[in-house]
Amino acid sequence: MTEHLKCADYGPTPSISAGPVLQAVNISKSFPGVLANDQVNFELAKGEIHALLGENGSGKTTFSKMLAGLYTPDSGTIYIDGQPTALPLPRHAHAAGIFLIQQNFSLVERLTVAENIVLGLKEASLSRRKYKALVARIEEDGRRYGLDVEPSAYIWQLSMGERQRVEIIKALYRRARILILDEPTTVLTPQECKQLFAGLKRLASEDTSIIFISHKLPEIFAVCDRVTILRSGKSVTTADVREEGMSPHRLMGMMFGREITLSSKEPAEGDHAEDTLVLDEVTCHNEFGRAVVENVSFTVKKGEIFGITGVSGNGQRELAEVVAGLRRRSSGTVAIAGRTVRSGDPEDAIRAGLSYVPEDRLGTGLVPDLSISDNLVLKNAWAPPYSRFGIVDQRAVKALAVRLISQFGIAGQPQSLVGQLSGGNAQKVLLARELTSEPKVLMAGTPTRGLDVSATDVVRRLLIEAAKSEIGVLLISEDLDEVLELCDRIGVMYKGKIVGIVDRRLATPDSLGLMMTGMTA
């Protein structure tokens, strides 16, 4: 596994004192049909940064939510400072000093930073005097830990990195002793990452204990002291990161029980393939008049996988929507398989040969309330052979579903509702539909997000196969590993513009990381 984030090693935390500040013993939690945590054991020392490592679906988020009082364990006990403590509600966790910062932040967009920080506090008051004290405290904490925020700014104005800082300041304001961060780096540039880690180390040295949930090994090595591995809902082992001989490979072995290599693609040779997707000076504005995509031009060739990467929120989603016709473009042209497509017309793009696997799997790509077979036929249901004289031919639909379910190994019946499938299975349905519509261009937005390793591998292989069948693949992903292992050429987006396009053989994580902050290569 490549180490794409060369975060400097920050050294061991100086003041780890004896006696765990938090202990979870035999914690179990189940939901209808699913056992999320199975007798999990976990222990956190004071002033340490302890990683919770596991792939998607291993139970990390469920466990953290129980510590935060959002869920209640079915069995097992949580000890705080040696005392068994019940945490039925978030406020109990807050009283115990535990604070969870989730991946989708608990911030109300339409309120200001200051308002969010006092949200839910009994002593909150909006009087002038108290407000000034609050602002002073926010600024002081900000300076101290490198987490500057503007108290009167509205959340919707802030970037993801800034919002994360607000969350941490919020926790500190409430005298958090235990911080739980759930996948904090997904929304940060490499530079912001470094700032975060420095802040965390500072906090740990002042006796704040931190649980760092992640599935990215290099980060864990950079900043954590110990790591506990979760697999399939069980706590597998706890290891000391600084121990002799500990390496990402060993950890990975403990995570999966074996070494896993994900499929990757050989870079395509030569330039002789023809263009299959051409964007020329595409610009698009949002409802506030701001340009979210600005003068983007690039081409994707047949048989190539072209990657668009960057920190999420820099226009990638809007770019994909423009290409798919879901969003009007203000200027520029998009040509699919040699034909210019009309702006804001999804049907035109589909007819021209575009297949789109959207980022929003269950909202846009699939309809959760409909069955697998309905979803598989979604794009072609209005015309023969599935629909004649306004009536849908149920047998033809079912036949298609049966065929695709077996071809792609989807776990489910044709009539199962897609909303009840696992993430990986749902993605398979989506890909099955898109790949079998004989597209000329396949556009995939963060296709492996939230999937476990085996599903990720399946998706990767399908993308590689698509490229092999002379389809031009446009892969939009924030995962640098994925992009470096699958793509032939990589474009980096920053604030709606393409900062640079690099050949994969010449790209390095550092150079890409630099471009992601806006500096051209």
Binding to another protein, residues 365-404 (CB under 8 A): 365-370, 374, 378-379, 381-382, 387, 390-392, 394
**DSSP classification of residue 345:** -
**Torsions phi, psi of 84, nearest 5?**
-65, 130
Output the smallest distance, CB 173 to another protein, in A: 11
List the one residue from 423, 464, 511, 518 that touches another protein (CB under 8 A).
423
Gap between the Cα atoms of 429 and 427, Å rounded: 5
Give me the half-sphere count of Cα atoms (radius 13 Å) on the Cβ side of residue 195: 17
Tell me the pairing of strands 354-357 and 441-445. Answer: parallel
Q: For residue 356, what are the contacts with CB-CB under 8 A and spacing of at least 6?
A: 320, 323, 324, 349, 365, 434, 442, 443, 444, 445
Strand residue runs (E) in 390-432 = 391-392
| Residue with smaller CB distance to another protein, 259 or 347 | 347
Contacting another protein within 333-362 (CB under 8 A) = 343-347, 350, 356, 358, 360, 362
**Among residue numbers 143 through 182, which ones bind another protein (CB under 8 A)?**
none
Measured between alpha carbons, how far is 285 from 320 in angstroms, rounded to an integer? 14
Q: What are phi and psi of 384, to 5 degrees?
A: -55, 150
Q: Per-residue x/- mask for another protein, residues 430 to 469, rule CB under 8 A?
A: --------------------x-x-----------------
Q: Measured from the CB of residue 427, what is the shortest distance to another protein in angstroms?
A: 12
Query: With respect to another protein, which residue has the nearer C-beta, 103 or 469?
Result: 103
User: In DSSP terms, which residues pair with 30 in a beta bridge?
Assistant: 35
Query: Rule CB under 8 A: which of 19-58 touch another protein?
Result: 28-36, 38-39, 56-58
Q: Which of residues 468-497 bind another protein (CB under 8 A)?
A: none
Per CB under 8 A, which of residues 80..119 are in contact with another protein? 89-91, 94, 100, 102, 104-111, 115-116, 118-119
Cα dist from 448 to 17, 227, 233, 358, 434, whole Å:
40, 24, 21, 11, 15
Closer to another protein at the Cβ: 365 or 472?
A: 365
Q: Print the binding letters for residues 288-327 with another protein: x by CB under 8 A, - otherwise.
A: ---------------------------------x--xxxx
**Residues of span 230-249 touching another protein by CB under 8 A:** 232-233
# residues near another protein by CB under 8 A: 91
Q: Which two tokens stand for residue 108?
A: 């109300």
Q: Which amino acid, residue 109?
A: E
Count CB-CB contacts under 10 A for residue 352.
Answer: 22
For residue 281, state whether it binds another protein (rule: CB under 8 A): no
CB of 65 to another protein, least distance (A): 7
Nearer to another protein, 359 or 485 (CB): 359
